[in-house]
Chains A and B, each alone.
Chain A
Amino acid sequence: MSQPEKAYSISVENLTKKFDDFVAVDKITFNVKKGEIFGFLGANGAGKTTAMRMLIGVLEPTSGKGEVAGFDIFKNSRKLKKHIGYMSQKFSLYDDLTAKENMRFFGGIYGLTNKEIRNRTKELLTHFGMEHIEKERVSSLPLGWKQKLAFCTALMHKPDVVFLDEPTSGVDPSIRRQFWEMIYETAEGGVTVLVTTHNMDEAEYCHRISMMVAGKMITVDTPQNLKDKYKLETMGEVFLHLARGYEKEHAITAS
C-alpha cells in the first residue's frame, strides 16, 4: 500500500482535532488524486473548515496522519505552504490595492522573482479573461470578480493543491458557472482542487465528494455513485438522507 500512496496529492489517515472535550474532526481518512476536484460537504459546523485548516498547515492536528503535496502536515507545515494555494471563506485581498498590486504582493510573499510575477500575472489574467480589471482597485469590483481575482491570486505561485473554502457563497449563478469553469481548467492542468461547500448543486460538479456530519466523514464517493446507491435524484436529497440517517443513529446510540 505504501507505493501507490505517492500518487495521491492529499492522503489523510485518522486525522483528529479536539478542542478541549469537543471533537471537531473525528478520525477522518481519505485520499485525493492529482488533478482531482474533491468536494468537502457538510452543514455549518460539521468540521469542514477545521479539517481544511489542518491540511493547509495553520492548525495543528491532535492526532492522525496527513500528507499534502508530499509534505507531512505535522513536520513540514512551512514547506507545505509553498506548494498549496488557499482561498478563504471571507474575502481576503487588499481592497485598497489594484488587482495587479494584490497579485504582485502575494507573488512576492511566495518568493517569486519580479519577472515571474509579471509573466504569471499576465498569464492568469489573460487566461481567465480578466485583463481589463488589472488596474482597478479591488474595492470597486463586484463580489463575483473579487472571488475570481482571489482564485487567480491563490494560483500565482503554481501550487500543486488549491484549497477553496466556500468560494462561491454570495455569488450570482452566472459568475458561479464561470468560477467552476476556472476550477475545471485549473484541475485539467494537473492541480488538485479541494473545495468546501454546502451548496448541493456545486457538489454535482465535483469528481468525488466526502460528506461530514458532526466531525465524522460519513461517506466518500462520486456524486453519481451516491445518487445511484440511495436511488435519489439530486445531491441535495442524498445529503439530507445521509445527514438525517446519521443523526438518528447517533441519537439512539447516545441515549
Chain B
Amino acid sequence: MRIIRFIIVKEFIQIFRNPLLVLIILSQPFIQVLLLGTAGGDINYASVYVVDEDLSSTSREIISKMEGSDFFDIRGAALTMDEAYKVMEYKNINLIVHFPPNFEKKLIKEHSSKVQLVTNAIDAITASLTYAYSSEIIGAVNKDVAIKWGSKSLSNKASTVSIPYSYWYNRALISQYIMVPAMCVAMVVMITILLSGMNIVKEKEIGTMEQLNVTPMRKTHFIMGKIIPVWIINIVLLAIGLILSSLVFHVPVVGSLWLVFFLSGVVMFLLLAVGVLISVISNTQQQAMFFTFFIIMIFVIFGDFITPIDNMPSWGKAMADLNPQAYYSRMIHLVITKGSGIKDILPDLLKVSGLTFATLAVSLWIFNKKD
C-alpha cells in the first residue's frame, strides 16, 4: 500500500509539472458542458412558405393561427407550388402549406377538403416536429369549422376525446436537462480513458518501465498507483461540471447527489480499466492515442447519446451491454432526471463492476506477459 502512495505522489507531481496538460484538463468542463450544452438547443422554430390558391376565410384562419404560434415563422407566400419548391431549395424553408383552389367550397359542400403540407426532410427531426405541430393546428381549425357549420361528419371526426400531452421527468421538454448531464458523462468518459490510456505506455516509451520492472514492485500496485490520480482528477472535473450545470442551466438533480458521485466513481474504474488495457496493448503513445479515439467513437455512438439503444438492432444492443458510456448515461439520467435510487441502478452497477474486474484481469495478464 505504501508503494501505491509513492506512485500516486509521483503521478501528481508529473501532472502539475505540465501546465499545459493541467490547463487542458481543467478547461474541459467549461468547454464541454458550457459550450456544447448551450449549442445543443431545442428545435423551437420552423420557417414556412404559403401557397394559397383558395384565398378563403378558412385558409386565412389556418395561416393566421400558424402566425400566432411561436413555432412557425411565415416567411412569405408564393403563387404556385413550383415557385415555393424553388424557395425551399434555395432558401432552406422547413415547410410549404398549400391550399388548393376551392378548398373552402369543398369543405362546405363535401364536408372534406385537403391541405398539402410539404416538409423539408433534410433535417428529419425538425421535419417531423413541423408536421406534427401543423397537423395540430389544422385539427383545431377542423373543430371550429365543425362547430360553425354544424357539419355532422366533421363533428364526428372532431373527436370528443382530446389528448393533452405531459412529458414526465422533463415536463417542459428542456433539452438542456438531458444534454448537460450527457455532456458531463461524455467528458468523464473521454478524459478518463485518454489520461489512463496514455499513462502506462508513456513509461514504456521513455524507458522507465524497464527500470520499474527490475524493482520488486507488483504490477497490480503499479496499475493502482497509475489509475487513482486519474480517478481523483475526474471526480473533481465531474464536480465542476455539475456545479456549472446547476448554476448556468439550472438542471435539477432530482435524485441523490451522493449517488451521482458514487455511481460515477464506480463507472470511472471501468473506464480506467479500459484505458489500462489500451496502455498495455500499445507500445507507443501514438498507438495508444489512435486506439483511444477509436474506442471513444464507438462508446459515444453506441452510448445512448446519439441514437437511443432501444432503437438499435440486436447486435447494437449487445454492444451496448459492453459499453461503459451506455451504462453511465443511463444511470446518470435515471438519478439526475428521474430521481431513481440505488435499488434501481444496482443491476447496472453490478454489471459495471463485473466488466471492470474482467478488463483489469485481462490487462494484468497481458501486462505480465508482455513486459
Contact = CB atoms under 8 A, between A and B. Distances in A.
22 contacts: A56-B214, A78-B216, A86-B211, A86-B214, A88-B207, A88-B210, A88-B211, A90-B207, A91-B207, A92-B206, A92-B207, A93-B208, A94-B206, A94-B208, A96-B14, A106-B211, A108-B6, A109-B212, A109-B215, A111-B2, A111-B3, A111-B216
A143 interface: no
Nearest to B211: A92
Given A58-B210, A94-B206, 10 more contacts: A81-B216, A88-B207, A88-B210, A96-B17, A96-B18, A97-B17, A106-B215, A108-B5, A108-B6, A109-B7
B219 to A, nearest CB: 11
B205 to A, nearest CB: 11
Contacts of A202: none
**Chain B contact patch, size range:** 20 to 34
A160 B155 CA distance: 101
B210 A101 contact: no
A227 interface: no
B222 to A, nearest CB: 9
B213 interface: yes
B257 interface: no
Interface string A74-99: 00001101101010101111111100
B14 A109 contact: no
Interface centre among A84, A108, A111 (most CB of B within 10 A): A108
Interface string B215-235: 111000000000000000000
Interface string A49-92: 00000001110000000000000000000110110101010111
Contacts of A128: none
B10 A101 contact: yes
Interface string B11-54: 00110011000000000000000000000000000000000000
Contacts of A91: 207
Q: Place the interface of chain A in its size category.
A: 20 to 34
A189 to B, nearest CB: 21
B217 A109 contact: yes
A105 B8 CA distance: 10
Given A88-B207, A92-B210, A94-B208, A105 B216 contact: no
Contacts of A81: 214-216
Contact of B214 (A58, A97, A108): A58
A230 interface: no
A95 B2 CA distance: 23
Going nearest first, the 3 A-B pairs with the smallest beta carbon separation are: A108-B6, A92-B211, A86-B214
Contacts of B214: 56-58, 81, 84, 86, 88
A30 interface: no
With most chain A CB atoms within 10 A of its CB, the pick from B3, B5, B14, B213 is: B213
Interface string A131-148: 000000000000000000
A110 interface: yes
A92 B216 CA distance: 17
A59 to B, nearest CB: 10
A105 B11 CA distance: 10
A176 to B, nearest CB: 21
Interface string A182-209: 0000000000000000000000000000
Contacts of B212: 109
Contacts of A88: 207, 210-211, 214
B207 A97 contact: no
Interface in B33-92: none
A176 B17 CA distance: 31
Contacts of A108: 2-3, 5-6
B283 to A, nearest CB: 15
Contacts of A82: 216
Contacts of B9: 105
B369 to A, nearest CB: 11
B10 A94 contact: yes
Contacts of B213: 58
B126 to A, nearest CB: 51
A90 B205 CA distance: 11
Given A88-B210, A92-B210, A111-B2, A105 B10 contact: yes
B71 to A, nearest CB: 56
Nearest to B222: A109
Contacts of B7: 105, 109
Contacts of A93: 208, 211
A92 B202 CA distance: 12
A82 B218 CA distance: 12
B5 to A, nearest CB: 8
A175 B212 CA distance: 26
Contacts of A96: 13-14, 17-18
Nearest to B212: A109
Contact of A109 (B3, B18, B207, B210): B3
A78 B219 CA distance: 12
A78 B368 CA distance: 13
Contacts of B206: 92, 94-95
A170 B206 CA distance: 18
Given A86-B211, A88-B207, A91-B207, A105 B14 contact: no
